Amino acid sequence: MRPLIVVSALCLAQTALAAEGEFSLGTGLNYTTGTYGGSTSTKILTIPFNARYDNGPWTFKATLPYLHITGVRAVYPGVGRVDNGTLDNLLGVPRNRSQTETHTASGMGDATVAATYTLYSGGANRSGIGLTGKLKFATGDEKQGLGTGSNDASVQVEGFQQVDRNTLFGAIGYTMFGDSPVTQFENVGNFGLGAMHRTDGGDLIGLAFDARQAGSPAPAPLRELTGFWTHKVDRNWRTQAYLLKGFARGSPDWGGGISAAYAF
């Protein structure tokens, strides 16, 4: 699962390539692996199905992911390792067994919808400030580790400034977790910083750092550094790719992905 700042950066990159009133559909392949503070690796393969619509100051986006997970039962996509007895009770296993027991599960994960409104845009779109609201729905099976079992909401303020061919961007946000049968999730803040460069050929390449607070008992802290690339193939097709390195218990050790979208 990509961190919010990277999603915002890729959203910004895609907006730079989008036409007014554009609707697009896309999919891709994301892969992560990590120990999440333990000794056993958990591997997560994600195939997201994305829909997006850009019109004036508004951008709307919806995602439904298909997941294939092999690893520790206590690791959940997007939040890291859950390490209290509530999870053992949910799974019906002896206390702390979920921390070492491995499994394989496949199915639909938690769906998300998001809307971004551009509060300010200046200098022929060379700078801007946006506000994003996001909802996550508990469509994934929490007993299989495909979702957290909670309906969550998050808000984020984003800004960018273009300097010649370079763009600096940043974001600060807050996530409010709903009730979950997995564990008690504490509301947490997040922030991110990054930069991207437009090449002579029109491609966008960039680097972003994303961080999230730790909750008690969950979610785990997140620290991730991501490099990304966006390429517009023709009038309708665009592609994206990224590589990720994690530095905290809530992040995978490594990850990467590719995606493609078709604009109508």
Distances, alpha carbon 52 to alpha carbons 11, 59, 207, 230, in Å: 10, 7, 23, 16
Mean pLDDT of the 17-30 span: 84
Q: Cβ contacts of residue 263 below 8 Å, gap of 6+?
A: 18, 19, 22, 23, 24, 235, 236, 237, 238
In this model, does residue 44 exceed pLDDT 60? yes
Give the pLDDT score at 23: 94
Give the pLDDT score at 91: 81
Give the pLDDT score at 141: 96
Mean pLDDT of the chain: 90
The alpha carbon dihedral of 26, 23, 207, 188 has a sign of negative
Mean pLDDT of the 237-247 span: 95
In this model, does residue 240 exceed pLDDT 80? yes
Query: Is residue 4 packed enough to be buried (19+ CB in 10 Å), middle (13-18) or exposed (0-12)?
Result: buried
Q: Where are the domains of the chain?
A: 4-263
Give the pLDDT score at 195: 93
In this model, does residue 175 exceed pLDDT 80? yes
In degrees rounded to 5, what are phi and psi of residue 41? -80, 145
pLDDT category of residue 257 using cuts at 50, 70 and 90: very high
Helix (H, G, I), strand (E, B) or coil at 229: strand
pLDDT category of residue 12 using cuts at 50, 70 and 90: low
In this model, does residue 56 exceed pLDDT 90? no
Give the pLDDT score at 57: 86
CATH architecture of 4-263: Beta Barrel (2.40)
Mean pLDDT of the 157-173 span: 91
Type and span of the H or E element at 184: none
5, 194 contact by CB (below 8 A): yes
Give the predicted TM-score (pTM) of the model: 0.91
82-125 residue pLDDT tens: 887 778 778 877 767 778 889 999 999 999 999 999 888 887 77
